[in-house]
Chain A
Amino acid sequence: MNINVQLVLNTTIAIPSIQSSGVTCVLVVSNIDLPTNLAIMKPSTFLETSIKDFTVNINNDYRYLKTGYYVSLHAEILGSPVIPSSENILDANRIPLLLLKASKAGIPTLPFLVTDSVKQVMSSFEFPVVVFAVNPFSYEGFEIAKNRSALYRAIKSLGRNYKFAVCVQPLLGEMFTFKSIFGRCKQAKSIEQISRKVYDVFEVPICKLHIQRIGKKVHLCGLQPLRKEELLAVDVEIISEEISQLSKNGDYLIG
Chain B
Amino acid sequence: MANIACFVEKYNFADSNEAMALQNFKIAAEKQGHEFDFLFRKNLREIPKYDAVFIRATTDPLYTAYIVSKTAWELGLKVVDDPKSIQICGNKIHLYSLFSKYDIPHIPTIFLNKDAFNHKRILEIFKVFGRPVVVKAPYTSFSRYVEKVACETSFREVAKRFFRKSDALTVQKFMPTAFDWRVGVLNDEVLYVCKYMVPKGRWKHGAKRRGKPSFIWGRTITLKRENAPTELKETALKACGVIGHGLYGVDIKEVDGNYVVVEVNDNPSIYARYEDLRNEDLYGKIIEYLVN
Q: Which residues of A contact B (CB under 8 A)?
A: 1-4, 6-7, 10, 42-44, 47-48, 64-67, 70, 73-74, 77, 86-87, 90-91, 94, 96-97, 100-101, 104, 113-117, 120, 134-137, 164-165
Interface pair B71/A67, CB less than 8 Å apart: no
Q: When A4-B100, A77-B98 are in contact, do A114 and B113 touch as well, CB less than 8 Å?
A: no
**CB neighbours of A43 from chain B (8 A):** 113, 115
A selection of 28 A-B contacts at a CB cut-off of 8 Å is A3-B129, A7-B110, A7-B124, A10-B124, A43-B113, A44-B116, A47-B113, A48-B113, A65-B138, A65-B166, A66-B166, A67-B113, A67-B114, A67-B167, A77-B98, A94-B66, A97-B70, A97-B74, A100-B71, A100-B74, A104-B74, A114-B64, A115-B42, A116-B41, A164-B63, A165-B44, A165-B64, A165-B67
CA distance A70 to B167 in the complex (A): 8
Q: Would you call the interface of chain B mostly helix, strand, loop, or mixed?
A: helix
On chain A, the residues within 8 Å of B1 by CB distance are: none
- What chain B residues lie within 8 Å of A67 (beta carbons)? 113-115, 167-168
The answer, yes or no, to whether B87 is at the interface (CB within 8 Å) is yes
B161 is an interface residue with CB less than 8 A from chain A: no
Given A2-B100, A3-B110, A70-B113, A65 and B167 touching (CB < 8 A)?
Answer: yes
Q: Which residues of A contact B255 (CB under 8 A)?
A: none
Cβ of B246 within 8 Å of any chain A Cβ, yes or no, is no
Cross-chain contact of A4 among B74, B110, B115 (Cβ < 8 A): B110
B97 adjacent to chain A (CB < 8 Å): yes
> CB-CB < 8 A to B87: which residues of A?
86-87, 90
CB atoms of B44 and A65 under 8 A apart: no
Q: How many residues of B contact A (CB 8 A)?
A: 40
Instruction: Write the residues of chain B forming the contact surface with A, with a CB cutoff of 8 angstroms.
Output: 41-42, 44-45, 61-64, 66-67, 70-71, 74, 83-84, 87, 91, 93-94, 97-98, 100-101, 108-111, 113-116, 124, 128-129, 138-139, 165-168
A-B contact count (CB 8 A): 104
Contacts of B168 in A (CB 8 A): 47, 67, 70
Minimum CB–CB distance from B243 to chain A (whole Å) comes to 13
Interchain CA distance A134-B128 in the complex, whole Å: 41
Inter-chain contacts of B116 with A (CB < 8 A): 44, 47-48
Complexed CA–CA distance, A4 and B109 (Å) = 7
Is the beta-carbon distance between A116 and B66 smaller than 8 angstroms? no
Q: How far is the CB of B81 from chain A (nearest CB, A)?
A: 14
Q: Find chain A residues with CB under 8 A from B139 CB.
A: 65
Least CB distance from A82 to B in Å reads 14
Of B62, B94, B97, the most chain A CB neighbours within 10 A belong to B62
**Bound Cα distance from A137 to B42, whole angstroms:** 22
Question: Which residues of A are found within 8 Å of B165, using beta-carbon distances?
Answer: 65, 137
CB pair B113 A44 closer than 8 Å = yes
Docked complex Cα distance between A70 and B115 (Å): 13
A-side contacts of B45, CB under 8 Å: 113
The answer to whether A73 and B97 touch across the interface, beta carbons within 8 angstroms, is yes
Chain B residue nearest to A74 in the complex (CB): B97
A136–B42 touching, CB < 8 Å: no
In the bound assembly, the distance between CA atoms of A132 and B56 in angstroms comes to 25
Residues in A whose Cβ lies below 8 Å from that of B111: 4, 47
